[in-house]
Amino acid sequence: MKDNRENPAIKDAQERFTFIWNILKENYPDPEPALNYKNPLELLVATVLSAQATDAQVNRVTEKLFSKYQTLEDFAQADLNELEMDVYSTGFYRNKARNIKESARIIIEDFNSRIPEDMDGLLKLPGIGRKTANIILSRAFGKNCGIAVDTHVARLAGRLGFTDSKNPEKIEKELMALADKVDWEDLSMTLILHGRRVCHARGPECEVCVVNHLCPSSRIA
């Protein structure tokens, strides 16, 4: 629903963020992740597959994948060519299959068959960057260590005036400074949802955006 409130006098980035975040929270009260998973291992695999792929496509692949490969050992011992074909439709399938297989081996050998529950440990796994690690830590282990910055989050953070940076790590730090820690996971998911539904990379639908009166990039006069 379009927000018709008048544009308040905004003094700084923190105030803009507070106004915008309060409205977005009202409009996305239960931001849920779109990837399907049942445990930390499935989440790790799904997030690796989600790079440059839609969540819907990843879910179609993992529906069969997680029936075929159910343990770390299954992935670690998988025939690489076969695993590549199993994840083929998510794109970049060779890298993704290799990273999943190697990550499973490392977790078994270096982490006693337990998915790492800290940023440093997760970043030792191939194919896992800060974005993916933040998702795993928050959704699998309930640990808010940072904010997952994907292309949607980066785009909206810039358009909404939360940051001037294009660097994901700097964007993450600036968003962490603006938001309460308890909101970090929801903030990422909310910006992703708003980016998918309204604030598209091309042709943002400013006329129906609930924060168009606060957005410095709005096309609404």
Tell me the catalytic residues: 131, 150
From the CA atom positions of the chain, what is the Rg in Å? Answer: 19
DSSP secondary structure letters along 53-95: S-HHHHHHHHHHHHHH--SHHHHHTS-HHHHHHHTGGGSSHHH
The DSSP call for residue 199 is S
Q: Is there a contact between 102 and 77 (Cβ–Cβ < 8 Å)? A: no
**In this structure, what token pair is assigned to residue 106?**
């490392």
Task: Give residue 149's region: left, alpha or beta (phi > 0; psi -120 to 50).
Answer: beta
Q: What are phi and psi of 217, to 5 degrees?
A: -105, 5
Annotated binding residue 206: yes
Check the annotation: does 145 bind a ligand.
no
- SS3 call for 14: helix
* Binding-site positions for [4Fe-4S] cluster: 199, 206, 209, 215
Binding-site annotation, residues:
199, 206, 209, 215
